[in-house]
Amino acid sequence: MSPRSARSSLFCAVFALAACSRAPSELEPPPPPASAAPAVAPLVWDVPGAWTVMEAPGSGSRKAIYKVPKAGNDKEDAELTVFFFGTGSKGDPAPNFKEWFGQFDGDVGATAARESFEARGLKVETVEVTGTYKIAMGPALGPKKKPPMQMVKQNFRLYGAVVKTPDRGNWFFKLTGPDETVQAARPAMRTLFESAR
């Protein structure tokens, strides 16, 4: 073998050895998932037996939905929706309550009945208003963010609350429906708040 071909063979052998000393990128351990950090434990509560659990979206701020059976002379059921907006500023009660009040005709927020109490070490604030309720039938449009169509419900009541936790953010409970039904559900709502943990 000539000296030139020997050098060429040696170069190829060294190059091949260097190339083989690397593991394929597929064999490298994957980076730890971003969700490895412990998540905030959700608030839990006891649901009254007469209420029907509805399917809530898998993601987003709506964490639970319940159908509350109609009472008295009311023609339809009420609905309780539970919201969680995270532990940041979106969990501020004032703008959330203001948005709820804005779903009624007039300035119902100015005359809203309010109550504060503590249950199991958690602070609870409730608000209650009644009047003409407007249900948006599509996304809000235009500079004033008005829905293109609304369903109007006369003699409706809102009984809402925020349950404040020291380490799991604020949880919002919004019960809306015909007046008698919501009033009849108020004691069960109070029991639900007192069971929150």
Q: Are 101 and 86 in contact (CB under 8 A)?
A: no
What angle (nearest 5°) sits at the alpha carbon of residue 172, between those of residues 171 and 176? 155
Residue labelled with tokens 């109007």: 152
Same domain for 53 and 30: no
pLDDT per residue over 117-136, tens digit each? 999 999 999 999 999 999 87
- Same domain, yes or no, for 114 and 177? yes
pLDDT band for position 31 (50/70/90)? low
Res 150: pLDDT: 78
pLDDT band, residue 142 (cuts 50/70/90)? low
Is 170 found in the same domain as 152? Answer: yes
Q: What is the DSSP string of 88-136?
A: SGGG-HHHHHHHHHTTBSS-GGGG-EEEEEEETTEEEEEEEEEEEEEEE
Q: What's the pLDDT at 14?
A: 44
pLDDT class of 5 with cuts at 50, 70, 90: low
What average pLDDT does the segment 139-165 reach? 83
Q: Is the pLDDT of residue 9 over 90?
A: no
30 is in which domain, residue-wise? 3-35
Same domain, 77 and 31: no
Report pLDDT digits (tens) over 33-90: 544 444 678 999 999 999 999 999 988 999 999 999 999 999 999 999 999 998 888 8
Q: What is the average per-residue pLDDT within 101-115?
A: 96
pTM of the predicted model, to two decimals?
0.76
Instruction: Supply the mean pLDDT for the chain.
Output: 84
Query: Do 56 and 145 fall within a single domain?
Result: yes
- Would you say residue 40 lies in a domain? no
Q: Are residues 19 and 96 in the same domain?
A: no
pLDDT at residue 88, as a whole number = 81
Q: Quick one: tokens of 142?
A: 């235009």
Q: How many domains does the chain have?
A: 2
